[in-house]
Structure 1
Amino acid sequence: MALRLARTSAEAHLYMELHPCDACGEQQFEPADSVIEVDGDLASRYAGPCPGCGAAREFVFRLPQQIIMPSDDDPRFGDNRPSELLDAAEWLWVADVIASGVPPDQAGLTGEERRLARIDLLTAASALSEVLKFAPEGADAVPADAVWSSRGSEIYTVEPGRFRRARLEVVRQTYLDLASRFAN
């Protein structure tokens, strides 16, 4: 079986976070990581015991040809290709979860809290950029076949209108505009 590509370590870690332990459901996982070779390709291997039940856990992802180094000011999950790890609706869910934790305004926030809110909004915008990568050139929306997970299928079925290109672009730009307001 061919390994799926993790375009950045952030994408790999997000994937692991979204896939809890099969034995006990524990989401926390602090694996040791290493670079290995699998079928002639370089790969990242994340392995270690589940902190909940001790079961051995392992994730192995193909590495990209060019390594992307995200930063707080540019929290990217990948290059211009759609993700092989998360489907379009999972990326939308990630954006929703991250953005929902941001305070509605800056009143009473410390400088550090404003900085973290800004990073969260930039990260939510980046997750929406990932959703948009699934929309074919010239298409008005992300197609249903860009969703393959059970979580994603549920989201897409309930709210297919959220996958329209124009709507995704407006929400993404709104997050970027809000992020600029949280700058120190």
Structure 2
Amino acid sequence: MFVGVAILIHLISRYVVLDEWIRSNVDRLWTEPFALELSAVFIIAGQQLCGRVDDVPGTCYVVTRFMHLYYIPLIPLSSWLVPYGTESKAEAEWLRIRLSAKSILVGWLQGFLVLFGLLNLGWGAVRMYAPRGAVANATNGVMNLMLGVSCLVAFLLFTIRPLRAGQVRANELRARLGLEVEAVEEHFDFPTD
């Protein structure tokens, strides 16, 4: 993982003298988002939390820390169980858990939706105003714009309303936090026979 980062920094340093900057910022290099300016090109990379899943209302949820490039999650690093009310305390009171496949897939899906949505919005705008074949380009441009907006709306739905945990997973997460297992049933609508 860090070999790829080292190769990237090496390739960048061939065009720009970054030795001084890297030496002075090596401690925060992968803990905070940063931007490198290469003439007119910026490279934004770092770590971020994505893929909020297994939400147990009022108790906790699961997120995954990803290495990102331009805020698109690429490489999952670790998954965390975050109790409600401790979001601002970072990892001090969070519980590290094994990598959550569900969280990783949702994180990648969110990144894909943003990337695909923005590309379609841009491509749709270009196609709508292209001079050749105005009717066909305008129709295809509108379709690209609609697809781009649909992707961004889907991203917002995944972000605003995280995926809830099922009863078994919710009980497992509450047990990991040392809470009563039976108390989670009040948040679910189970059929009674």
TM-score normalised by L of structure 1: 0.32
Q: Which has the higher helix share?
A: 2
TM-score, normalised to structure 2, is 0.31
Q: Kindly name which structure, 1 or 2, has the bigger radius of gyration based on alpha carbons.
A: 2
Whichever structure has more strand as a proportion of its residues is 2
